[in-house]
């Protein structure tokens, strides 16, 4: 999606946007959901910039997410672990990187409850490894005239809100409740410390729940779409009244772009979609989207004959309340006032439109989700939803 603020891209860290210099980005986790969407966005909006993706290709990383930009002359993919500091240092030097956009993380709360170790390793040690490498190459060896380390974090570091509490803002005290959010909180503190102690030029964004294309079907929205198409149960944790603030991934990518171009080093920006929804309400909306789509397209009924909508029944009949997630945060809501005032950020995709587009994307890209639902995915579903 194009918008006016991106029509004449300024160079990173160059407020006036007058230098002809091209940027050279290292995108960690660029084969994951948000990272891949960001790579697509950047290559389209900033022609001529170099984009190097560093990704370990864990269960959540998938080269198919980069299929739309495969063979792009400005893109390079490197398989590797962010904990491998010498490898990161080499990449920064050899590629003349001046900008790191750090997405790589273990990102699923439920998995962090089952096995927190990987979250501490990647999210805490991995982020520290990235910071150490950046400090060595950029601050000590001075390989580039200006640099930026952008850290992608989550609103979950702020904890859980009551129904009437004001939304999270950048000065809300940290109160992480899950091993995932605690590991992200630790990484945020390290990023902040590297700015204050060593002068590394950092920015951090804390964003709400993303959704959109290439979203791995272990998270709520893609899981519900894929289950619904198969006619499988739609598992709702607890009473389904937990509230999330939904952000279309394209809005998130534009938000990060604005921070990279116009954000002030050392600052934190909250990015959200401005739409709160209870989980049950959200899933019911998705079911209604599916019912409409099946009613309009005969082809869907033959392709996904297991879905109740293929027989003219309501997809919402698949909803099933299941045991709640331990420590399940009740409500997240994001106040994006700072990003709006300082950067001109505003979410552009409404939840209704975003859910329709996302449903359509999953219907049109069956090859993608069938490919990612391999043996390890099946094992996760079996253990988690047993």
Q: By beta-carbon distance, which residue lies closest to ligand NAD? A: 32
Nearer to ligand TYD, 39 or 223 (CB): 223
Return the DSSP state at 112.
H
CB 249 within 8 A of CB 209: no
**Structure token digits, residue 261:** 């171009």
Binding window for ligand TYD (CB under 6 A); candidates: 77-85, 135-143, 216-224, 259-267: 216-224
Identify the CA nearest to 335 among candidates 270, 251, 268, 278: 270
Taking CB under 6 A as the rule, does residue 351 contact ligand NAD?
no
Q: Which entry of ligand NAD, ligand TYD, none binds 237, CB below 5 to 8 A by partner kind?
A: ligand TYD
Helix (H, G, I), strand (E, B) or coil at 76: strand
Taking CB under 6 A as the rule, does residue 223 contact ligand TYD?
yes
Give the whole-angstrom CA distance, residue 348 versus residue 75: 27
Report residue 77 CA to chain centroid gap: 19
CB 79 within 8 A of CB 55: yes
Nearer to ligand NAD, 301 or 381 (CB): 381
Interacting positions 171-200 with ligand NAD (CB under 6 A) = 184
Give the whole-angstrom CA distance, residue 311 versus residue 314: 9
DSSP secondary structure string for all residues of 195-226: HHHH---EEEEEE-EEESTT--TTSHHHHHHH
Taking CB under 6 A as the rule, does residue 176 contact ligand TYD?
no
Give the whole-angstrom CA distance, residue 148 versus residue 33: 22
Helix (H, G, I), strand (E, B) or coil at 331: strand
Q: Give catalytic status of residue 140 as yes or no.
A: no
Identify the CA nearest to 150 among candidates 256, 236, 255, 60: 256
Query: Which residue in 176, 212, 235, 308 binds ligand TYD (CB under 6 A)?
Result: 235
Taking CB under 6 A as the rule, does residue 286 contact ligand TYD?
no
Return the DSSP state at 9.
P
Q: Give catalytic status of residue 156 as yes or no.
A: yes
Interacting positions 33-72 with ligand NAD (CB under 6 A) = 33-35, 55-58, 60-61
Query: Which residue in 23, 99, 112, 154 binds ligand NAD (CB under 6 A)?
Result: 154
Taking CB under 6 A as the rule, does residue 134 contact ligand NAD?
no
**Structure token digits, residue 201:** 């030029």
Return the DSSP state at 20.
-
Taking CB under 6 A as the rule, does residue 32 contact ligand NAD?
yes
Interacting positions 243-282 with ligand TYD (CB under 6 A) = 244, 279
CB 131 within 8 A of CB 191: yes
Mask for 310-329, x = binds ligand TYD (CB under 6 A): ---------------x----
Q: Give catalytic status of residue 269 as yes or no.
A: no
From 95, 106, 156, 276, the catalytic residue: 156
Q: Nearest approach, Cβ of 367 to ligand TYD (angstroms)?
A: 23
From 55, 89, 98, 180, the catalytic residue: 180
Identify the CA nearest to 362 among candidates 230, 253, 232, 207: 230
Taking CB under 6 A as the rule, does residue 31 contact ligand NAD?
yes
Residues with active-site annotation? 155-156, 180
Binding site residues, ligand NAD, CB under 6 A: 28-29, 31-35, 55-58, 60-61, 81-83, 103-105, 107, 122, 126, 152, 154, 184, 207, 209-210, 216
Question: For binding to ligand TYD (CB under 6 A), which residues are involved?
Answer: 109, 209, 219-220, 223, 235-237, 242, 244, 279, 325
């Amino acid at each position: 999606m194009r918008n006016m603020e991106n029509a004449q891209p300024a160079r990173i860290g160059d407020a006036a946007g007058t230098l002809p210099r091209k940027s050279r980005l290292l995108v960690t986790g660029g084969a994951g959901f948000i990272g891949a969407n960001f790579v697509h966005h950047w290559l389209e909006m900033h022609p001529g910039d170099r984009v190097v993706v560093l990704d370990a290709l864990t269960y959540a990383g998938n080269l198919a997410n980069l299929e739309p930009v495969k063979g792009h002359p400005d893109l390079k993919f490197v398989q590797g672990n962010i904990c491998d500091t010498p490898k990161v240092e080499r990449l920064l030097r050899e590629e003349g990187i001046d900008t790191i956009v750090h997405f790589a993380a273990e990102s699923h709360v439920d998995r962090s409850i089952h096995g927190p170790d990987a979250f501490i390793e990647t999210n805490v040690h991995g982020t520290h490894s990235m910071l150490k490498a950046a400090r060595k190459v950029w601050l000590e060896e001075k390989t580039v005239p200006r640099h930026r380390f952008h850290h992608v974090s989550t609103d979950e570091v702020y904890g859980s809100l009551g129904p009437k509490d004001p939304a999270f803002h950048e000065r809300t005290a940290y109160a992480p409740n899950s091993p995932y959010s605690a590991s992200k909180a630790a990484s945020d503190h390290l990023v902040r410390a590297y700015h204050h102690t060593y002068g590394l030029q950092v920015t951090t964004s804390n964003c709400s729940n993303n959704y959109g294309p290439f979203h791995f079907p272990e998270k709520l929205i893609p899981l519900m779409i894929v289950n619904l198409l198969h006619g499988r149960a739609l598992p709702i944790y607890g009473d389904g009244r937990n509230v999330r603030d939904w952000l279309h991934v394209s809005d998130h990518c534009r938000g990060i772009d604005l921070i990279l171009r116009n954000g002030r080093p050392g600052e934190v920006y909250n990015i959200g979609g401005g739409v709160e929804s209870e989980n049950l309400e959200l899933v019911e909306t998705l079911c209604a989207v599916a019912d409409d789509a099946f009613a309009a397209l005969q082809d869907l009924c033959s392709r996904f004959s297991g879905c109740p909508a293929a027989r003219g029944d309501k997809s919402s009949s698949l909803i099933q309340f299941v045991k709640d997630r331990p420590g399940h945060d009740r409500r997240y809501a994001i106040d994006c006032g700072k990003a709006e005032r300082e950067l001109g950020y505003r979410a552009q995709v409404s939840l209704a439109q975003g859910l329709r587009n996302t449903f359509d994307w999953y219907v049109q890209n069956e090859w993608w989700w069938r490919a990612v639902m391999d043996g390890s995915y099946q094992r996760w579903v079996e253990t988690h939803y047993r």
